[in-house]
A = this chain, B = another copy of it.
Amino acid sequence: MKLLPVLEPVTDESCCVPAGAPVLGADEARQQAVVFKALADPNRLRLLSILKAASPGATCVCDLTEPLDLSQPTVSHHLKILLEAGLLHREKRGTWAYFSLIPGALDNVAGVLADL
């Protein structure tokens, strides 16, 4: 008598090889997404561009309204998001707040992309 080989049942997932656990953990991904969310706005990118050009100097918030044609509350709102994402440093001088790019902050974001 000839025996037929026993075949494993075909599952729904048989189309492909499982990709395994993601390399990037959930907590780390959440933290990194905050920084990319801060970068995900044209006006914030333009603010960073101005602050980078002025780097390592600090720029008064009062000087950032005109180049972007935005109101000061709007500029302050965007600067707060960039500050909370760890990209900017804020310093009070008299009435005005001065902002500067944290050295290496943008390089660190580029590093996140390289290490994904």
Residues of B within 8 A of A47 (CB): 22
Measured CA separation A109–B63 after assembly (Å): 28
> Which residues of A50-69 are within 8 A (CB) of B?
50, 52-54, 59-60, 62-64, 66-68
Bitwise, A9-26 to B at CB < 8 A (1) or not (0) is 000010111111111101
Residues of B within 8 A of A53 (CB): 23
* B63:A16 contact, CB within 8 angstroms: yes
Bitwise, A94-116 to B at CB < 8 A (1) or not (0) is 11100000000011011001101
* B26:A46 contact, CB within 8 angstroms: yes
Q: Nearest B residue to A96 by beta-carbon distance?
A: B15
